[in-house]
Structure formats: C-alpha cells, structure tokens
Amino acid sequence: MRFTKMHGLGNDYIYVNCFDEKVENPAELARAVSNRHTGIGGDGLILVGPSQTAEVRMRIFNADGSEAEMCGNGIRCVAKYAYERRLCHVGGDFAVPGQQSFGASVNIETGNGILTLGLAIDEADKVQKVCVNMGQPVLRAKDIPVNLPGQEVVAQPIEVLGEQLAMTCVSMGNPHAVFFCDHVGLIDLAKVGPAVEHHELFPKRTNVHFVEIDLPTEFTMRTWERGSGITMACGTGACACAVASVLTGRQGRLCTAHLPGGDLELNWCEVDNCVYMTGPATEVFEGCWPNG
C-alpha cells in the first residue's frame, strides 16, 4: 500500500489515496501505522477517496483507531494532496470576507459536511498555504455534545482531578473543551488532558485545550487531542479557542494562534458567522506499507 506522510504545523498523519488503494480495516491500520516505534509514526490515518457530493472525501482515524469527524490541519493537507496529484477539479476564487482572496478553491467532504478551501499556489504549481472555511461554530450544549443544561457552555465550573476549572465548550464538527490559564507551559497536560477527555460530561469524549492570552489579537495554546494525546497542533481546536476567546470577552474575532508546531491565522467572521483558518500544509515523504 502506497502512503504519504504529511503534516500541518507538526500535526502529522499518514495519507492514503483510496482512488487507487483499498483499505479493508482502517481502524486497525491507523493503530499500526501511527505507532512511532513500530510503525510510520503519526497522529493518525487519513483516507482520501471519491465523493458523491464533493471533489474528494476525507476520513480521519485517530492513533487509537477511533474515527473523528473533522481535522483542521488534516484537511489542509488533503487539499494540497488532492490538488498536486490531480485528484480534484479546482474551482474559482475563494474569498475571506474583509480579508484576502485565493485564486483557486476546492470542496472536500468530511464528517462535518462539505467544506470549501482556498489554495495559495506558487510558481512551481505547489500549494504553499490553505484557507479553510470551517463553518459556523456549534455552541448549544446538547449539539457539541456536553451533558450540561442550558444553551451555551461558557466559563462553566467543572471539577477535574479535585480542582475547579472554568470550561468553555465549542464544536467545530468535533467537540472541544477550552480552559484559559496564565501559563500554558505549567499545565500537566499528560495528566489533565485524558481526565477531561474521558469526563462523564462528554458522551463522545472531547478534545482538550489550554489557552494563554498573549495580546488582544494573539494567544498560545496546548492541546490534548481525543484519541491521539498531546499533539503539535490542532486546527479545529485553534478555531474553537478563538471562538471561546470571543465568548469570554478576552479577544476580538481576528487573531493569531501560536501552537507548538507554528501559527494559524483565524477569523470568526461577523458577516457569515463562519470561522476561517489559514495555515501551511507540508509533505514529508512517500513510502510503501506492507499491509493494506
């Protein structure tokens, strides 16, 4: 089975072209290839295949084999992968309201519906940067889902490992719990992350983020991803953190997220209520895995 290793800000996945390859058991394959000691090494497996409703379809399997609805860093890499391998037809201009315009666009089917992406293509016909319209954030508790009463979950007290924390919840097609703190580097993420991920409030588990506000337009974050653990970056999580920053009155709608793997430009646009995320996509290497 041919594969390609790619990453978005260090959030790395193994990509398989399912136009050509057949994957019988993606959950088992995800666990095998993701292992950083005995496999290829990555945060999970992403399958790129035909779609009945978009140019291509992506399916995401975490390192533990569980299937995720959406991956912001992963979808940027899928756009680059599909464009450079001519797996898709490219559409016209993609514009971020009030910001820049991209000369090419592509539609990708995900577990969170069809998303549209703008491609920044260089003179060598390579995709260097991708902007994703991540859609409107989901804020109603039962739709995130989180088992709490009321509509929005903003600065909600929650007990984790004997401590009281203030939690804001957002779904960007997958669930996120956001916690603001003074110093993200002091958080024992390997301990707190899984405790929140598997908390009884989250029927589908959750991604976990700790956020430190740097400036009115910048924040630093660290992530524990559902099914993968500590990762270098989380695109949907960065979007969720940007929304949470606005909901708690900490920042405006246009900001930059600093992640361990690099930066993402974010815009929770007032015009259409959608979150736009812009960042790089990088191909690392190709290879052949002995089992499909």
The catalytic residues are 71, 234
Give the integer Cα–Cα distance in Å for 209 and 268: 18
Give the integer Cα–Cα distance in Å for 278 and 140: 26
Residue 45 phi, psi (nearest 5): -125, 135
Coil, helix or strand at residue 254 = strand
Q: Is 150 exposed, middle or buried (0-12, 13-18, 19+ CB in 10 A)?
A: exposed
**Structure letter (DSSP) for residue 106:** E
- Residue 258 identity (one-letter amino acid): H
Beta-bridge mates of residue 222 = 210
- Residue 41 identity (one-letter amino acid): G
